[in-house]
Chain A
Amino acid sequence: MKRILIQLRMELMLLARNGEQLLLTIAIPLLLLGFFGSVDVLPSGTMNSIDFLVPGVISVAIMSSAMVSLGIATGFERSYLVLKRLGATPLTRGELVISKILSVCVVQVVQTIILLGLGTALGWSPSQAQWLLAIGGILLGTAAFCGIGLFLAGQLKAEINLAAQNGLYLILLLLGGMIIPPDSLPGPMSSAASILPSTALATVLRASLNGQTTQVSQAFIVLMLWAVAAPLVAARRFRWS
């Protein structure tokens, strides 16, 4: 436990020193919520636009920190032989992974509080929110996106991983039901989007944060499958050096 906390401290210190990661994890979701919350240009179906946006942007933030930020940082650490060097210390691989996931969780707590605060200021009401389901969704989403991010980081060269993570981020951002409702996409694309982890996470958060949880079971199951499968595949295929 002590080594996990020591490594967590280092992970957070590095995060604070990397401006581009803070931009990705905090500033971009804030800008998305601030802009689209003020300018009503996105389709939001039958929902109030801010009710649609707040859960969607929290999903974007989770994807940013758990997949892109973690994945890119880990990819470069692998290429700089940092992971290899840590492998020669008493810190075990399991402890390293737990430290990284905890650092993501710390970031997500900060992200979520800031985004919920801004959302409330823009008119979103937390009175209907079902927090347990929302927290469950966030944890499953974090596991799923950490798995995807680490899988790419463990397979690709650092520079290719950087491009792949950003490319996937953009695809999931546009097609994953976070900012644009899947129903607004063309037919086949909409069907494909329903099995994406981003769509599932956004759907679960949208339902739980707005208190409309009647049709959330399918999305919850999809999210759970991703949350189990992605970390398992990442653990099996990850190369440390």
Chain B
Amino acid sequence: MAVVVENLTVVYGETVAVDDVSFEAPAGCVTVILGPNGAGKTSTIEACEGFITPASGCVRVLGLDPQRDHHALTLRMGVMLQGGGVYPSARVRDVITHFCALYDKGVRPLELMERVGLSARATGTWRRLSGGEQQRLSLALALAADPDVIFLDEPTSGVDIDGRDIIADIIVGLAQRGTTVVLASHDMAEAQRVATHAVLFQHGRIIASGVISELVQARTSLRFSSSAALSLDDLQTEMSAPVVRLTNDTFEITLQPTTQALARLTQWLATQGLPLTHVDMGSETIEDTYRRLTGGNA
């Protein structure tokens, strides 16, 4: 295991931010720490990075103690903070060159700039970049370490669709090359796109952790979107199963979401002259899992 967290507790004054949590992040995999704001994700990540002294418990990253062996770890670790971390008046090209030189791992600044899609902004300063560009620059600085393990705190926060694609591709590519990726996020859909393992946080505690495909359950319902004018009673009769309206135009039928059930639904909608704009069946998402485990109190 590249990252091992055992009974970690982080305390700020009277507040317990992380309460006796334990999990592991396997080498060469993407592990996402999920949870709402204030759940303890950043504190956990920062304890792994060596920024925070745990009140109790133990953290090992690549077999090293993040505080005692901090210098040795910095040579193998990439870090992307939740925000900031860059000289506001420094140009993109200069700051990437600076970090590449500090790590001295042979990473070429121009190639790195190209990789995160910032070549066109090479002479722009940090303070003049958009939020998404700032995130990509922060990611570039983490990549300058050519790391064995990389910690990314909310890497897609404030990033546009194109930027998200770039970041997602980089994260997946890192894991394929054997880098261990640990990222904190409250964007569960985005996280599920790139991660294979998840640690779900709530109020500073872990409520579930493991391989995402094992955490999520098969659905026991069929969700779809159609017209708000749809008659629940008529559909209920047709499907011989309970139907509820989730939102104005989203519905849920409680039955096994088989292709036969879907065929019956589409046929009925066609005869009623109603549209079918979205269908959700198969496994639940990690967000569904989170809501199920927290009773909807995310």
Contact = CB atoms under 8 A, between A and B. Distances in A.
Nearest to A240: B51
A90 B74 contact: yes
B238 interface: no
Contacts of A90: 71, 74-75, 102-104
A168 B74 CA distance: 37
Nearest to B74: A90
A3 B98 CA distance: 10
Contact of B51 (A9, A89, A241): A241
Main secondary structure of the interface of A (DSSP, over half): helix
Interface of A: 2-3, 6-7, 9-10, 13-14, 17-18, 76-77, 80-82, 84-85, 87-92, 241
B81 A89 contact: no
Nearest to A82: B87
Contact of B81 (A3, A7, A10, A81): A81
Contact of A10 (B77, B79, B94, B103): B94
Contacts of A91: 102
A85 B79 contact: yes
A81 B75 contact: no
A85 B74 contact: no
Contact of A89 (B84, B88, B102): B102
Contacts of B79: 85, 88
B228 to A, nearest CB: 48
Given A7-B102, A14-B87, A90-B74, A84 B94 contact: no
B73 to A, nearest CB: 9
Contacts of A6: 98, 101-102
Most A-side CB within 10 Å, residue of B71, B87, B94: B87
Nearest to B95: A10
B94 A82 contact: no
A10 B74 contact: no
A85 B102 contact: no
Interface in B43-95: 49-51, 71, 74-75, 77, 79, 81, 83-90, 94
B74 A89 contact: yes
A17 B85 contact: no
A80 B101 CA distance: 21
A126 B90 CA distance: 40
B89 A18 contact: yes
